[in-house]
Chains A and B, each alone.
Chain A
Amino acid sequence: MADGTVSSQSGEGPLAPLVAFGRKLRDAGLPVGTGRILTFARAIAALGLTDRESLYWAGRTTMIGRKEDFAAYDEAFADWYRALATQGELRVELNLPTPGSKRQVDWGEMPDDLEVTVSGVAAQWRSAGEDEPEDDEETSIRIVASAVEVLREKSFPDLTEDERARVAAMIRRLAVTVPVERTRRTKPASKGSSFDIRRTLRRSLRTQGEPFERAMRARKSRTRPLVLILDISGSMAPYARALMQFGYAAMAAGRRVEVFVFGTRLTRVTRTLRTKDPDRAMHEIGKQVADWEGGTRIGESLKTLLDGWSQRAALRGAVVVLCSDGLERGDPELLRAQMARLRRLAHRVVWVNPLKGSPRYEPLARGMAAAMPSVDEFLSGHNLESLEHLGRVLGG
Chain B
Amino acid sequence: MGETPYGSVDELQAALGTQSYLADRGLATSIHLSLSLDKPLLLEGEAGVGKTEVAKVLSSLLGRRLIRLQCYEGIDASQALYEWNYSRQLIAVRAMDATDAETHVQDLFGPDFLVERPLLAAIREGSGAVLLVDELDRADDEFEAFLLEVLSEFAVTIPEIGRVAAETPPAVVVTSNRTRELHDALKRRCLYHWIDHPDLEREIQIVKVRAPHVSDALARDVAAAVLRLREMDLAKLPGVAETIDWANALAFLGAERLDTSIAADTLGAVVKDHEDQQLVSARLADVVGDG
- B117 on interface, CB distance cutoff 8 Å: no
Report A301-324 residues with CB < 8 Å from chain B CB: 310-311, 316-317
A317–B184 alpha-carbon span in the complex (Å): 15
Candidate in B89, B188, B190 with the most chain A CB atoms within 10 angstroms: B188
Shortest Cβ distance from B33 into A: residue: A43
- B9 on interface, CB distance cutoff 8 Å: yes
**A46-B1, A122-B143 as given contacts; A65 in contact with B33, CB under 8 Å:** no
Segment of A109-117, A250-258, A277-285 engaged in the interface with chain B: A109-117
B226 CB to nearest chain A CB (Å): 21
Residues of chain A with a CB closer than 8 A to B78's CB:
120-121
In contact, A61 and B178 (Cβ under 8 angstroms): no
In contact, A62 and B142 (Cβ under 8 angstroms): no
- A209 on interface, CB distance cutoff 8 Å: yes
> How many residues from A make CB contacts under 8 Å with B?
60
In contact, B149 and A118 (Cβ under 8 angstroms): yes
In contact, A114 and B1 (Cβ under 8 angstroms): no
- B246 on interface, CB distance cutoff 8 Å: no
Residues of chain B with a CB closer than 8 A to A209's CB:
93-94
In contact, B77 and A120 (Cβ under 8 angstroms): yes
Which of the four size classes fits the interface of chain B?
A: 35 or more
Contact digits for A104-135, partner B, Cβ 8 Å, 1 yes 0 no: 01011011001010111111110000000000
**Other-chain residue from A31, A103, A116 in contact with B148 (beta carbon distance below 8 A):** A116
**A46-B1, A47-B9 as given contacts; A58 in contact with B189, CB under 8 Å:** no
**A96-B1, A97-B1, A105-B38 as given contacts; A316 in contact with B141, CB under 8 Å:** yes
In contact, B86 and A184 (Cβ under 8 angstroms): no
Contact digits for B165-199, partner A, Cβ 8 Å, 1 yes 0 no: 00111000000001111011101111111100000
B77 CB to nearest chain A CB (Å): 5
Contact digits for B26-70, partner A, Cβ 8 Å, 1 yes 0 no: 100110110011110010100000000000000000000000000
- B145 on interface, CB distance cutoff 8 Å: yes
- A211 on interface, CB distance cutoff 8 Å: yes
18 contacts between A and B (CB under 8 A): A39-B39, A42-B37, A46-B33, A54-B9, A60-B26, A67-B194, A70-B194, A97-B1, A102-B167, A108-B188, A120-B77, A122-B76, A125-B142, A183-B142, A197-B84, A201-B86, A201-B93, A311-B184
Q: A61-B33, A102-B167, A120-B77 are in contact. List 9 more A-B contacts (CB 8 A).
A: A42-B37, A53-B25, A54-B29, A62-B33, A105-B38, A123-B142, A123-B149, A204-B93, A211-B90
B residues near A (Cβ < 8 Å) are: 1-2, 8-9, 25-26, 29-30, 32-33, 36-39, 42, 44, 74, 76-78, 84, 86, 89-90, 93-94, 140-146, 148-149, 152, 154, 167-169, 178-181, 183-185, 187-194
